[in-house]
Each structure stands twice: as structure tokens, then as C-alpha cells.
Amino acid sequence: MSRVLRVAAAQLGPIARAEPRAQVVDRLLVLLRDAAAAGAHLVVYPELALTSFFPRWYMDDTAELDWFYETEMPGPETKRLFDEARQLGVGLHLGYAELTPDGHRYNTSILVERDGSVVATYRKVHLPGHEEYEPWRPFQHLERRYFEPGDRFATHRAFGGVVGLATCNDRRWPETYRVLGMQGAEVVLIGYNTPIHYPPDPSHDSLVGFHSHLVMQAGAYQNGMFVVGVAHGGNEEGVVSLADSCIIAPSGRVIALTAHTDDEIAVADLNLDLCANYKETLFDFERYRRPDAYGAITDRKGAIPPP
Amino acid sequence: MSRVLRVAAAQLGPIARAEPRAQVVDRLLVLLRDAAAAGAHLVVYPELALTSFFPRWYMDDTAELDWFYETEMPGPETKRLFDEARQLGVGLHLGYAELTPDGHRYNTSILVERDGSVVATYRKVHLPGHEEYEPWRPFQHLERRYFEPGDRFATHRAFGGVVGLATCNDRRWPETYRVLGMQGAEVVLIGYNTPIHYPPDPSHDSLVGFHSHLVMQAGAYQNGMFVVGVAHGGNEEGVVSLADSCIIAPSGRVIALTAHTDDEIAVADLNLDLCANYKETLFDFERYRRPDAYGAITDRKGAIPPP
């Protein structure tokens, strides 16, 4: 059985606040067909891929907020995307805002196999930003108001390998990759929305692309796995977000990269057997890890400096 | 009180197998004086800085092996280095092979304050390589034969900040930086000996410099701290090792880098207040970490893939 997985990172450019779902799904379908034409087995869409990145706006009208959420997946607007992917034999990863029947809200992604079966859903663990309206900001980042956190990272047998899911800010935390690596991940799929401007400390702004690649490259290398990072970027409603979608090998090298800041696919063949070049040598966890020395990672939340 | 620490990364070129300690200490003194002349508060020498990197040779003669170890620190040959550092008011970090009175062997480093007081010693936690002679290798890497592992990472108040120690292969493991970060580290000092050729998988060879910087840059950024990485490199007894000693800011950027593969210092001013740009914003651990989701990091040694 082939262990080469052809993946298309399906980057999205800006989505206007008023852009209807049907129009966004049309854009996703164009990318899906591009991916299928390129022979991809899996198309990876970014985080919150069906609407504008709404956490930038403070909303206290629940009906206004609810418009951005999906109550079923696939739902009325997304069903044709799932149907066409199945017909084309292309798996898909899609990020969306989830509103459950009992009123819980999550920043969720779904992974679907080439035959249309649902592999897993994942709810974002590391929610960035803030809970309350902060008038000093040029734009808000209210993920901690609009979503509850997910509770775990998991891996899944799919696409001939072991696949893990993470979302946006999760990628900055080395624990994300390691918890997935400890569950055998060979490929981690990560969608993101990352504004270039970081209001709490603008010294980050000129480094945002560097940081995004740095953390994904290190996570890939240190766990001997592929990482697929997919942006919803460009200038959206006046806020510019990072593009730079990429596919990273277990060597830590970027092997595919988008060239624009709009809708575009970047494709690479992921030879999953390359993971062993790291997992079975330098990073043979069973032989070389020292969990007895790692207690401070799980025994506390914040740092405890020496007295 | 100033929070700017001027550090000299004191890279060493090759040390011949027969090179006497006195001659090596002479070389360390040259670097110390260079560092003092540059106004450095701290000079950082690499791992196993007093001898050739002897784990590349298989030795079953204990007397032959013992020659490479220190039974006291400072000892007869190193006392003049410690004395001159104190007189110059320069702190020092020095890696060496430690043989304890009761016969235990460690890959150790010592950190000494500007007044000559010992801050701490550290025994390498992540020992790479192998235990037995492996004839297929062009050179051995017998750290797991010649050293016992250390048991913990710790941080220390010194040089006006919070300092942590790690050694060589420790730098490839994200847990190293995180365990030190969870103890408030603002600067981590890391000496290394890194052969360019990795016999178990030569596909790593062309990436060794990239990997070395990648892991230290990610560790610095993800924990909002400075990392000082110092090589014992060059062509030593026919084995070429990485130089590329560097000082990395909490932004993840390399702010100083050696230019050669021989004895050389690279100097930078470490403004420890820059750590807050990361520790108090994006990486506010107390606010944003999710240790409840990190159990797999400490509850197992090797990976457990899904069924």
C-alpha cells in the first residue's frame, strides 16, 4: 500500500463580512477541483473557512453572532462541497464555527476521508485573545468570548497514516505537536487566521511570518512528522492577515508554499515513510525521552521562578 | 539595576586528542580576555570544553578513559581560568566530563558568577548515541556508555536574571526549554558538540546547521527567553563538527553568530526585559496554557499510536 499522500493546502483570501455562505462554498469548490486536478488525496481548508474572521468584531446581539456558526456539518450550504469531494475521491479538512444543539460554541475542524466518511472533529484547545471588549484595540480578537475551549488532542488512522488536527494558535505551543507526536502523528493539519498586527505588542508584527513557520518547522522536526499549515489570509475588512500557507516535511523543511495572499492551492507529496528518518533515530522517543524530568510541563499552568 | 547582560559565546575549534589541558586552558584564557575586553559579564564555553570530544572513541581501558574526566572543578589545571575570570569580574559557563569520588560519570557544566561564586552545576539529561561499540560507524558516539544521565533541569537567579542550563542534545527536545520556561528562565546556556555526519541517517547531514538553529530559535520564542548556543566545532581528529555558535533573542531571531569554525567569541547585549514581550502577551502561560490537555507528555516515554 502506498504511503505517499498527496495533499493540497487550500489557502483562502479575504471573505467579506456580508459574503454569503453559498459564495464561499463556490470558492471552496474551485479549490477542491484544482486539488482533484492536481491528483490530491486530501484538500486542507483553513480555520473558520466559511465566513469572515468574526472574532475581530464585538457583537452582543446573539442573532447577529449566530449567523457565523454552523449547527450541522455538513449543513444545507456545505453539503454540495462534501458531496463533490466524495465523488472526486478527495478527502477534506474544513474549519468552521460550531454551535451545538445545547448552545455550546467551539472553533472546530472536521476531517473527512476520500469515501466521505467522517474521520474526526477537533475543537481548538488553545484559544488566544480576550474575553471582553477592549476599546484600545484597532480590532478585537474575541475568540475567548465566542468559543469554549476543546479538551484534547487526538490522532486518527486515515489516509494510510496517522493524522492529527490542531488549529491556529495551537501551532505556537510545542505541547500541541508533542501530545500529537506521543500519539504517533505522521501528519498534522493546521488551519489559521493570523493578523499581521498584534495589538498587545507590535514588536511581533514584522516577525509574524517567521514565527508561523518557525513553530511549525520545529514541531515537524522534533516529532518526525509532516505539518500542513493553511491560512485564511489577505486584507479582510481592513485587517491584513498572514498567508504563507505551507507544507513542511519531517526534516523541518518547507516543501510547498503558496505564492499569493488569495485563494490558492499548494500541493506536495507526503511520503509518510520519511517520518521514520527521525522517529526511529535521533527522536526515538522510547529510547531517548526523559519524562521523569518533564514534570513541570504538567504540574503547573504558569511559570514558577526560583525564589 | 541594569537588566542588560552582555554575553560572549566562546566557541572552541578542534582540540587534538593528545592536547594537554594546560594548552586548552591557555586557549580558554585567550577567549576570556577577549570577552572581558568586549565588556562581557559572562563568557559561555561549550560542552566538554577541556578535551577532544572523546565519545567518538571506544575505550575499554579505564585509565585511558579517566584521562578525559575532571575529579574536581576547578582543578589544578582549571584554577587559573577561574581565578582570572574572578579578577576580571567575568562570570563563566564551562562544560566538562565529571568523575565523582564514588565513581559516577556525568556530562556536566558549571555556572560561576562574576565574583567567583558557584551558581550551579548541571548534568546532561538527554544523552544521545549508544552504549556499545558499533563497528559499522565511521566514528562512535558513546555518550550513553561514558556518562550517566542527570536527573533534572533547574533555573537559578544569577547575572540579574533567571538562568537555566542545558547541554547539546538537550536542545533538540522542546521539553528542555519548556521545563526551564516553567521555572521562569530568561536565559538558557547550551554548549554542544555536533558532528555534521549522523551515521544512523545521513539524510540529516546537510541540515545539521539548520536543525541546530531551528530548535534553539523555537525554544527561545516559545518561552520568551534568550538562548546562547556555543559550539566545540571544526575538524577534530578527522570528524567535522558544527560551529555556528549563536545568541538568540526571545523573538527567536539570531542576534549574534560566529563567523569561523575555530576559537572565536560572538557577543551580544541581552536585554532581559525583552522576555516580557512574549512571556506577558502571547505566551502568558498562566492565562493560555492547557496542562489538562498535555498528559501524554509525561504519562508515557514512547509514542502510543491509535489502534
What does the pLDDT read at residue B144? 98
Cell of A174: 510545542
Q: Do B203 and A251 touch (CB under 8 A)?
A: yes
Q: Is residue B153 part of a domain?
A: yes
Q: Is residue A303 part of a domain?
A: no
Q: Which residues contact B256 (CB under 8 A, 6 or more apart)?
A: B9, B246, B247, B266, B267, B268
Could you tell me which of B212, B154, B193 has the C-alpha nearest to residue B50?
A: B193
Distance CA A111, CA A117 (A): 9
Q: Which residue has the cell 566530563?
A: B97
Partner A contacted by B124 (CB < 8 A)? no
Residues of B tagged active-site:
47, 124, 168
* Distance of residue A97 Cα from the nearest chain B Cα, in angstroms: 20
| Nearest-CB residue to A297 (from B182, B204, B218) | B182
* Distance of residue A167 Cα from the nearest chain B Cα, in angstroms: 14
Task: Name chain A contacts of B217, Cβ cutoff 8 Å.
Answer: 214, 218
Could you tell me which of A209, A282, A286, A194 has the C-alpha nearest to residue A244?
A: A209
* Distance of residue B201 Cα from the nearest chain A Cα, in angstroms: 7
Q: Is residue B299 part of a domain?
A: no
The secondary structure of chain B in percent helix, strand, coil, rounded to multiples of 5, reads 30, 25, 45
* pLDDT, tens only, B97-140: 999 999 999 999 999 999 999 999 999 999 999 999 999 999 99
Task: Give Cα A24 distance to the centre of its chain.
Answer: 18
Q: Is residue B296 part of a domain?
A: no
Helix (H) or strand (E) holding A137: none
Task: Please tell me whether the overall predicted TM-score, pTM, comes out greater than 0.90 for this model.
Answer: yes
Domain of residue B36: give its range: 4-289
Helices (H), chain A: 21-37, 62-66, 79-88, 143-146, 174-181, 208-223, 276-279, 285-288, 295-298
* pLDDT, tens only, A50-83: 999 999 999 999 999 999 999 999 999 999 999 9
Q: Is residue B131 part of a domain?
A: yes
What does the pLDDT read at residue A45? 98
Q: Is residue B297 part of a domain?
A: no
| Nearest-CB residue to A286 (from B128, B295, B302) | B302
User: Which residues, given as ranges, of chain B have pLDDT below 70?
Assistant: 1-2
Q: Is residue B302 part of a domain?
A: no
Order across the sheet with A226-231: list the strands. Answer: A155-158, A161-167, A187-192, A226-231, A246-248, A254-257
Of all residues in chain A, the one with the smallest CA distance to B298 is A291
What does the pLDDT read at residue B269? 98
Counted domains in chain B:
1
* Distance of residue B34 Cα from the nearest chain A Cα, in angstroms: 32
What does the pLDDT read at residue B247? 98
Task: Pick from A175, A180, A227 the residue to mutate for testing the B interface (most B CBs within 10 Å).
Answer: A175
What does the pLDDT read at residue B133? 98
Is the preceding omega at residue B202 within 30 degrees of 0, hence cis? no
Q: Is residue B140 part of a domain?
A: yes
| CATH code of B72's domain | 3.60.110.10
Helix (H, G, I), strand (E, B) or coil at B298: helix
Could you tell me which of A175, A245, A262, A253 has the C-alpha nearest to residue A209?
A: A245
Which residues 34-93 of B are in CB contact (within 8 Å) with A? none
Distance CA A249, CA A256 (A): 9
Distance CA B87, CA B109 (A): 21
What does the pLDDT read at residue A155? 98
Partner B contacted by A203 (CB < 8 A)? yes
What does the pLDDT read at residue B276? 97
Give me the average pLDDT of each 10-residue run along chain A (307 residues). 90 98 98 98 98 98 97 98 98 98 98 98 98 98 98 98 98 98 98 98 97 98 98 98 98 98 98 97 98 98 97
What does the pLDDT read at residue B119? 98
ipTM over 0.95: yes
